[in-house]
Amino acid sequence: MEEKDNTGTKERENETGGAAEPTKKVRIAAVADIHVREHDTGKWGDYFKEASRQADILVIAGDLTDTGDESEAEVLVNELKHCSIPVVAVLGNHDYEKSRHKLIRQILLRADVNMLDGEAVVIKGVGFAGVKGFGGGFDNRMLSMFGEGAMKAFVQEAVDEALHLERALGRLDQEHQVDKKIAVMHYSPIRETVVGEPEAIFPFLGCSRLAEPLSRHGVLAAFHGHAHIGTLEGKTHDGIPVFNVAKPILNKEQKTFLVFEA
């Protein structure tokens, strides 16, 4: 796998050894919340083979593992051997459960998965910027940094994640002048794609702060997961498509994964 350069942006060439043509459509298969378990050996091989047939790049938007255990990450790595296309991924809250997220990330990096955490990568002419994201609520019901220290820390986490996304997208603009930009996160940047979940938990499913960098940098689309009984598709206030690709939602829509052309 390519090493990150000093700015945190990675570059990957297509199979022909050259940069992808700007006008060529690139098919992106997206899914989230696959929750791979320790005893899932043999379960995912055909799934990743199908992704390779239908798309040019696979995106996994968090919750790669079920309980955040490195043994689950090792199972995922073995299953991904059946995937013949580049993989871009971010971690989700389940991957943090046992505080082994750094180890999980390293296991996947060693397997050539493009793990993004405030970083960016360019594959086949498409720029991907990724973060985990965080909660905080949406629009005029978004939590503010006021009151107890614990509340301020909660809000600060969302602010930090939005800043990481801003910087990653900025690198795609400044260093690579990439026209096609895709944002990947686990938490939702808009309210629309969490509708279906109990409204009381909306503040824990995403945050509007994550939508602000999408608009400033003109991304083509954003993928997230986390809200298992949310809504497949929505848009930011200025019309950027946002897709909740949590696997339970895709199952309900009778989709193996969502395929988006960039």
Identify the CA nearest to 173 among candidates 105, 226, 219.
Answer: 219
What ranges do the domains of the chain cover?
27-261
Identify whether the C-beta of residue 165 lies closer than 8 Å to the C-beta of residue 222. no
**pLDDT higher than threshold 50 for residue 5:** no
Identify whether the C-beta of residue 66 lies closer than 8 Å to the C-beta of residue 39. no
The sign of the CA dihedral 47, 131, 69, 114 is positive
Residue reference for tokens 């939590």: 143
Chain segment 170-196, per-residue pLDDT in tens:
999 998 889 899 999 999 999 999 999
> Residue 168: which H helix or E strand, with range?
helix 149-176
Identify the CA nearest to 236 among candidates 186, 191, 206, 198.
Answer: 191
3-class SS of residue 112: coil
Quote the CATH superfamily of domain 27-261: Metallo-dependent phosphatases (3.60.21.10)
What pLDDT, on the 0 to 100 scale, is given for residue 19?
Answer: 45
**pLDDT higher than threshold 60 for residue 115:** yes
Chain segment 119-176, per-residue pLDDT in tens:
999 999 999 999 999 999 999 898 988 889 999 999 999 999 999 999 999 999 998 8
Mean pLDDT, the chain, whole residue set: 92
Lowest mean pLDDT among 24-28, 114-118, 144-148, 195-199: 144-148
For residue 96, count other CB atoms closer than 10 A to its CB. 18
User: Is the pTM here over 0.85, yes or no?
Assistant: yes
- Alpha-carbon distance 245 to 27, whole Å? 15
Identify whether the C-beta of residue 181 lies closer than 8 Å to the C-beta of residue 172. yes
Q: How many CA atoms lie within 13 A of 243 on its CB side?
A: 24
Chain segment 190-230, per-residue pLDDT in tens:
999 999 999 999 999 999 999 999 999 999 999 999 999 99
What pLDDT, on the 0 to 100 scale, is given for residue 67?
Answer: 98
The share of the chain scoring above pLDDT 70, in percent, equals 91
**Four-CA torsion 179, 8, 211, 226, nearest 10 degrees:** 120
- Alpha-carbon distance 43 to 48, whole Å? 10
Rounded average pLDDT over 87-91: 98
The single-letter code of the amino acid at 40 is D
**pLDDT higher than threshold 50 for residue 114:** yes
Chain segment 240-260, per-residue pLDDT in tens:
999 999 999 999 999 999 999
Q: How far is CA 220 from CA 96, 97, 179, 181, 242, in A?
A: 29, 31, 9, 6, 9
**pLDDT higher than threshold 60 for residue 14:** no
